[in-house]
């Protein structure tokens, strides 16, 4: 392996996400400028570096030096020091100031900055305040270089350096050496596997207590990401042992120790010891407790003869409700908690509007909410009343995933007599817990949703578990009304829900394109979005949504997004774009927020459009306003020309395109197909094979999520 030492002349390209870097150096040997390529954090202009690697011949760019490592050396020549300082690396120093500093202090400039910063005031234009700013900035750069070098020496991308320095400041190196698993818990973007790589590199044993504890917490995190609130202790032990490659007895002992120390909590149920992370344990208990309290403390409404009140309203408004709808409206007046469920076309919207009219006539102050902005907008349009996202109702002010901070809580409850929440199937246990904490005593709580849709992306099956508990009144609407029944989409949705094949190609509203080859199917979807549907007057961005059962494969979300972006929003010379490890973002791109960001007020599943990219800032317009993202925040953002069916919940689109191919067989389920079809208002286009369609229809096995919410609500003994 050859080494070259030189001063960085230009930085041609850098990708902060995967650390791929291209730069040129002027070697000390006097040879001409050399192009360096490699995967490590980009150096700064003027820095002296030592690279180790080999020469390669690129088919387009010619001879290059492919570096395996890049070690940063403090510049020693006056010219190198001046170029380094002029690069902007140190806050408060530009090109002219760099020249004055080097002219005054010569080769000792960096030494003066580090050890004798008060002397910087000898240079014209530098006072005591600016000297201190320069000292602090240079010290931070020194620390950052040390962190980056440490990471790269231990086989980890140096691009994490800035995040680590920001999180831990001057103690960053101590954390890296002594407590590396803190990185996974405290630094955004660094997961357990990266922290584990560092820990093993610096000498941690495979069965080190810190490693075992971090592995258990990571396993529980993946369990929660799969929708579970808890996991049997035996399963937790087995998964942890496989993750860490340790003896199962060692993993079992570590799990027991965490339980004993109250780091984990348990419930005994049906001969199983179910293990919870504390935040999910308390969320589940709080949800059950508060729901029962709300059920039992509703204020009686005037009159009391609710059946008569509803019939009188029907006569005065010249409205005739179906029996199931009437039952639901009566229950809304009579009970503290009500669940209203039903499929498309069964009159949920009419029923909710009727509830609103009667409750408002009783003088009730009513709040309407939904888990996402798209669902809240639909609820507002359907009822003719204002509706908000639950995060806005609760007045989110910060916090992080799993631990949000809301202004509204038990000490500062919502000001309402009735709270109606739509799209209840999307409610996970954490959000439900926070919401119910903010419901005041005496307030009615009405949860509306389609229990046959996919469960929430987050942990728990709240709507299904509440219904299963039989602890609160539930009204299920089953009658499909004639006007709705005339829609082939609604007709087929109900057939799918019963396991029957939908009527295909009898109408342009519901099409099936039989294409066995998955690559051809993907190209067909691109052609539909880029050519066929626009020719019919549809906007491919606002009117069309491609949904996929999976992320990978030809017809998965990832590949479809790349192909759709290339067709709908290709690169243009002179137009700004910004590349990350996963995506290249451009103005005009349709994007989705992938996690709750309580500080910015944008939440998981929100859809927006990039309006501009400037100086590594990405501007995204959402329905409720614009958000600015820095480069380091772009891991929260994904392209959204295509999305998973799960991410589409709570939304409606004029046209839905759904690939159904053999490669998706793992995810082909009846409720997934049903959820996708019910997202469409005007047209459904299925692309794939009838065999895949039949697989989805036949698979009605919904994986039970580990949760005890139904049992807690039902009063079942847990001991």
Mean pLDDT, all residues of the chain: 87
Report in angstroms the alpha-carbon separations of 182 from 211, 354, 589: 11, 53, 36
Location of structure tokens 């009391």: 304
Token code pair at residue 386: 């204002």
Q: Is the pLDDT of residue 468 over 90?
A: yes
Buried b (16+ CB within 10 A) or exposed e, 430-447: bbbbbbbbbbbeebbbbb
pLDDT value for 687: 94
Q: What is the mean pLDDT of residues 665-689?
A: 89
Closest by Cα among 578, 599, 594, 588 to 635: 594
Q: What is the mean pLDDT of residues 85-103?
A: 80
pLDDT-wise least confident of 112-116, 150-154, 308-312: 150-154
pLDDT value for 685: 95
- From CA 416, how far away is CA 440, in angstroms rounded? 7
Q: Is the pLDDT of residue 91 over 80?
A: no
| pLDDT tens digits, one per residue of 169-189 | 878 888 888 999 999 888 877
pLDDT value for 597: 83
- From CA 559, how far away is CA 569, in angstroms rounded? 15
pLDDT value for 169: 80
Q: Which residue has the higher pLDDT, 334 or 482?
A: 334
DSSP-derived letter for residue 704 is P
Q: Which residue has the higher pLDDT, 459 or 299?
A: 459
What stretch of H or E contains 5? strand 2-14
For residue 535, what pLDDT band results from cuts at 50, 70 and 90? Answer: very high
Torsion region of 342: left, alpha or beta (phi above 0 gives left; psi -120 to 50 gives alpha): left
Share of the chain above pLDDT 90, in %: 48
pLDDT value for 159: 63
Closest by Cα among 247, 225, 635 to 217: 225
Q: What is the mean pLDDT of residues 440-463?
A: 92
pLDDT value for 240: 95
User: Which residues on adjacent β-strands are paired with residue 643?
Assistant: 547
pLDDT-wise least confident of 137-151, 289-303, 494-508: 137-151
Rounded to the nearest angstrom, the gap between the alpha carbon of residue 358 and the centroid of all alpha carbons in its chain is 39
Spatial contact of 707 and 427, defined as CB atoms under 8 Å apart: no
Q: Is the pLDDT of residue 161 over 80?
A: no
pLDDT value for 402: 62
pLDDT value for 550: 87
State the distance between the two ends of the chain, measured CA to CA, in whole angstroms: 64
Cβ neighbors of 340 (< 8 A, separation 6 or more) are 328, 348, 351, 352, 446, 447, 448, 449, 474, 475, 477
Q: What is the mean pLDDT of residues 322-327?
A: 92
| pLDDT tens digits, one per residue of 50-60 | 888 898 887 77
pLDDT value for 525: 95
Share of the chain above pLDDT 70, in %: 94
pLDDT value for 56: 87
- From CA 53, how far away is CA 478, in angstroms rounded? 69
Q: What is the mean pLDDT of residues 560-587?
A: 88
- CB count, 10 Å around CB of 582? 16
pLDDT value for 5: 87
For residue 70, what pLDDT band results from cuts at 50, 70 and 90? Answer: confident
| pLDDT tens digits, one per residue of 296-317 | 998 888 667 888 888 988 888 8
């Amino acid at each position: 392996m050859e080494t070259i030492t030189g001063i960085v002349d230009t930085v041609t390209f850098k990708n902060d996400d995967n650390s791929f870097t291209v730069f040129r150096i002027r070697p000390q040997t006097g040879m001409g400028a050399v192009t360096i390529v490699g995967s490590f954090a980009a150096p700064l202009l003027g820095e002296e570096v030592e690279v180790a690697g080999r020469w390669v011949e690129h088919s387009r760019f010619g001879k290059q030096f492919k570096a395996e490592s890049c070690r940063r050396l403090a510049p020693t020549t006056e010219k190198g020091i001046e170029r380094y300082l002029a690069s902007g690396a140190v806050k408060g120093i530009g090109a002219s100031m760099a020249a004055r500093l080097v002219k005054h202090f010569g080769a000792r400039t960096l030494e003066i900055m580090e050890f004798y910063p008060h002397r910087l005031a000898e240079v014209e234009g530098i006072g005591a305040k600016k000297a201190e700013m320069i000292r602090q900035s240079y010290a931070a750069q020194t620390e950052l270089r040390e962190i980056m070098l440490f990471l790269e020496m231990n086989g980890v991308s140096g691009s994490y350096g800035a995040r680590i320095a920001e999180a831990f400041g001057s103690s960053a190196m101590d954390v890296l050496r002594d407590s590396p698993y803190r990185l996974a818990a405290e630094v955004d973007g660094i997961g357990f596997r990266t922290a584990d790589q560092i820990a093993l590199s610096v000498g941690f044993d495979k069965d080190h207590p810190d490693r075992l504890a971090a592995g258990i917490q990571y396993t529980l995190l993946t369990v929660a990401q799969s929708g579970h609130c808890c996991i049997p202790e035996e399963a937790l032990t087995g998964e942890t042992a496989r993750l860490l490659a340790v003896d199962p007895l060692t993993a079992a002992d570590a799990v027991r120790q965490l339980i004993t120390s109250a780091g984990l909590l348990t419930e005994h149920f049906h001969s199983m010891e179910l293990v919870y992370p504390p935040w999910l344990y308390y969320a589940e208990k709080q949800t059950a407790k508060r729901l029962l309290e709300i059920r039992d403390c509703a204020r009686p409404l005037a009159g009391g003869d609710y059946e008569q009140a509803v019939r009188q309203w029907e006569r005065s408004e010249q409205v005739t409700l179906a029996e199931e709808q009437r039952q639901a409206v009566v229950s809304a007046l009579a009970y503290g908690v009500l669940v209203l469920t039903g499929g498309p076309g069964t009159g949920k919207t009419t029923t909710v509007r009727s509830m609103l009219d009667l409750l408002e006539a009783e003088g009730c102050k009513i709040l309407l909410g939904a888990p996402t902005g798209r669902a809240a907008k639909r609820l507002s349009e359907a009822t003719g009343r204002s509706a908000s996202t639950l995060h806005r109702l609760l007045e989110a002010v910060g916090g992080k995933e799993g631990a949000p901070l809301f202004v509204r809580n038990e000490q500062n409850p919502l000001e309402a007599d009735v709270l109606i929440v739509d799209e209840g199937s999307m409610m996970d246990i954490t959000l439900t817990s926070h919401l119910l904490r903010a419901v005041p005593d005496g307030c009615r709580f009405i949860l509306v949703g389609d229990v046959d849709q996919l469960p929430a992306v987050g942990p728990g099956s709240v709507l299904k578990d509440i219904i299963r508990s039989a602890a609160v009144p539930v009204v299920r609407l089953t009658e499909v009304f004639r006007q709705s029944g005339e829609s082939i989409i609604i007709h087929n949705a109900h057939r799918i829900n019963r396991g029957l094949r939908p009527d295909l190609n009898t109408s342009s509203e519901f099409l099936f394109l039989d294409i066995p080859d998955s690559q051809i199917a993907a190209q067909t979807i691109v052609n539909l979005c880029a050519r066929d549907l626009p020719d019919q007057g549809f906007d491919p961005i606002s009117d069309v949504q491609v949904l996929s059962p999976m992320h990978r494969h030809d017809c998965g979300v990832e590949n479809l997004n790349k192909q759709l972006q290339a067709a709908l929003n290709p690169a243009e010379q002179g137009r700004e774009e910004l590349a990350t490890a996963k995506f290249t973002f451009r103005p005009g791109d349709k994007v989705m927020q992938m996690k709750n960001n309580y500080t910015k007020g944008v939440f998981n599943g929100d859809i927006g459009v990039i309006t501009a990219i400037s100086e590594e800032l990405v501007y995204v317009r959402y329905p409720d306003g614009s958000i600015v993202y820095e480069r380091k925040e772009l891991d929260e953002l994904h392209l959204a020309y295509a999305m998973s069916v799960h991410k589409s919940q709570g939304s409606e689109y004029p046209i839905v395109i759904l690939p159904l191919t053999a490669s998706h067989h793992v995810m082909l389920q009846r409720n997934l197909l049903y959820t996708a079809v019910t997202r469409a208002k005007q047209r459904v286009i299925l692309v794939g094979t009838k065999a895949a369609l039949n697989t989805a229809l036949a698979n009605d096995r919904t994986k039970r999520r580990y949760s005890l919410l139904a049992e807690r609500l039902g009063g079942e003994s847990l001991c």
